[in-house]
Chain A
């Protein structure tokens, strides 16, 4: 065991893992977090807490993770390179561990151009790959980047993201291999809609032995409506939503589109479970946390195994 988090135990004991996601509020409300968390309680193995996603200012990811710990839930701390330099990152990582946070997901971060403060100065002192090496150094060497010995070593289970649909496709598996070399334990992928391309990606990763070196979780985001599907297809760079899904959602009555979206998500979960090397799913139900139990129930992933 590297960190002993619930998520790590789920993997090491051979279970198919399920993680959820919680977007912190654009304000100081604890109630919003409690409400979102209540839908995820008992149905996921760990909860990703996003770090000012889409560069919109939200409550601190570390603070929300701590609130989840206090609620008896396991958080997965997302940390982006956009807003912190290596000093702040190491400091926050040490603090996060002291607060009981055991999983960390290393990300580059959405560019601030997209957010609610496009005038901000960005940082990008290190990139996501290098952030992984920092967390690993803290954990495995007990040292800071400077070489300074730590008083108390943070034993994190280290995650990162992968987007099989970004360009150039040929380099995407190489990126995955680099992240494994950097020290990643688990990967959560970008939302998958183009199953054929994902299969191809996983096939190459599997052939190269990468699926034995880290736990890969397939990203699933249920489509709430045909409008959302169109938005994802046209306005989210690096996402690949085949026309098939748009046509399928268009084909049902507006009131039934949400149900159809859930049906699609359940089918996708079943499809990714058949792909060699997929060790879990990361369910990103964006502002739709209350549907998570229903989706996971329908996908046959409940109840979650309890591990020691």
Chain B
């Protein structure tokens, strides 16, 4: 899933400093699962903003609403009645950055992102998420025991650990596992170590963002 985290409250307060009335919109997709922008987080941020502005003697009216998803036009359309003549100064989106962009495309009102969209990842344990994929557009992980060196090696190395790998940790931080050490262990476990022996060829990054913004068209699904 897309993993995101909320921006610091100070940054958000600065964004909304000039506003009197805002629509705070959550999303029931990925950001609900990673506890960043679902109904619950909308409630928490809404209250925090109201309290902070009340303290300043400059109250802010926050209307809360959570959509099924913000990355589909049909759900974003549902905001139309709310945004019609209600005097909102801005929409604050608690989706990943796709959400505010969809809202911006649909409505002539300023939109602000409440989250920093961080990575494609998963939960390691309750309250801990990590990056697993860089969406390079050409998955190669079967060559590496099912682990991705592009997303998970700090240098995206394709041919083994650099000289900075020590005690299974990355030279960048002891908080980061050396994915190449894990790949090595995994290949030993699978009895496939010899697969790491050939020089892995230079990657074609044209399927990644390097080829420009990407689009998928599925003719079989188009209406």
Which residues of A are at the interface with B, using a C-beta cutoff of 8 A?
81-82, 86, 108-111, 113-114, 122, 124-130, 133-134, 145, 161-163, 165-168, 170-171, 174-175, 177-178, 181-182, 190, 237-238
- Is there contact, CB below 8 Å, between B199 and A133? yes
- Is there contact, CB below 8 Å, between A127 and B181? no
Which of B159, B163, B196 contacts A163 (CB under 8 A)? Answer: B163
Interface: B108 (CB within 8 A): no
Cα-based distance from A133 to B159 in the complex (angstroms): 12
Cα-based distance from A130 to B201 in the complex (angstroms): 7
- Is there contact, CB below 8 Å, between A171 and B160? yes
- Is there contact, CB below 8 Å, between A111 and B158? no
- Is there contact, CB below 8 Å, between B166 and A178? no
- Is there contact, CB below 8 Å, between B166 and A108? no
- Is there contact, CB below 8 Å, between B202 and A237? no
Q: A113-B154, A124-B156, A238-B166 are in contact. Are A168 and B161 (CB under 8 A)?
A: yes
29 residue pairs bridging A and B, Cβ less than 8 Å apart: A108-B162, A110-B164, A111-B154, A111-B155, A111-B172, A113-B172, A113-B173, A125-B205, A126-B202, A127-B156, A127-B157, A127-B158, A127-B159, A128-B157, A128-B162, A129-B199, A130-B200, A165-B163, A167-B167, A167-B178, A168-B161, A168-B184, A170-B184, A174-B160, A174-B196, A178-B160, A178-B199, A237-B169, A237-B171
Residues of B within 8 A of A110 (CB): 164, 171
Residues of A within 8 A of B197 (CB): 174, 177-178
- Is there contact, CB below 8 Å, between A108 and B155? yes
Interface: B40 (CB within 8 A): no
Interface: B143 (CB within 8 A): no
Residues of A within 8 A of B198 (CB): 178, 181
Minimum CB distance partner of B174 in chain A: A237
Give the top 10 A-B pairs by smallest Cβ distance, nearest first: A163-B163, A237-B171, A129-B159, A237-B164, A127-B157, A238-B163, A124-B156, A130-B202, A166-B163, A237-B166
Q: Min CB distance, B62 to chain A, in Å? A: 34
- Is there contact, CB below 8 Å, between B199 and A238? no
Cα-based distance from A110 to B158 in the complex (angstroms): 16
Interface string of B166-191 (1 = CB under 8 A from A): 11110111000010010011000000
- Is there contact, CB below 8 Å, between A237 and B157? no
Cα-based distance from A113 to B164 in the complex (angstroms): 13
Residues of B within 8 A of A111 (CB): 154-155, 164, 171-172
Chain B interface SS verdict (over half):
loop
Q: Min CB distance, B210 to chain A, in Å? A: 8
Q: Min CB distance, B130 to chain A, in Å? A: 17
Q: Min CB distance, A216 to chain B, in Å? A: 15
Most buried by A among B162, B166, B169, B196: B162
Interface: B165 (CB within 8 A): yes
Extra contacts besides A170-B184, A181-B199 (11): CB < 8 Å: A82-B155, A108-B155, A114-B171, A124-B156, A124-B157, A128-B159, A129-B200, A166-B164, A167-B161, A167-B167, A238-B166
- Is there contact, CB below 8 Å, between B166 and A166? yes
Q: Min CB distance, A61 to chain B, in Å? A: 19
Cα-based distance from A114 to B167 in the complex (angstroms): 19
Which of B154, B156, B165, B199 contacts A167 (CB under 8 A)? Answer: B165
- Is there contact, CB below 8 Å, between B155 and A167? no
- Is there contact, CB below 8 Å, between A167 and B160? no
Cα-based distance from A178 to B200 in the complex (angstroms): 9
Most buried by A among B166, B167, B185: B166
Minimum CB distance partner of A167 in chain B: B165
Q: Min CB distance, B164 to chain A, in Å? A: 4
Residues of A within 8 A of B155 (CB): 81-82, 108-109, 111, 122, 124, 127
Q: A167-B166, A174-B196 are in contact. Are A238 and B171 (CB under 8 A)?
A: yes
Cα-based distance from A189 to B200 in the complex (angstroms): 22
Residues of B within 8 A of A130 (CB): 158-159, 199-202
Cα-based distance from A53 to B168 in the complex (angstroms): 24
Cα-based distance from A182 to B160 in the complex (angstroms): 13
Q: Min CB distance, A158 to chain B, in Å? A: 14
Interface string of B138-161 (1 = CB under 8 A from A): 000000000000000011111111
Which of A86, A161, A190 contacts B202 (CB under 8 A)? Answer: A86
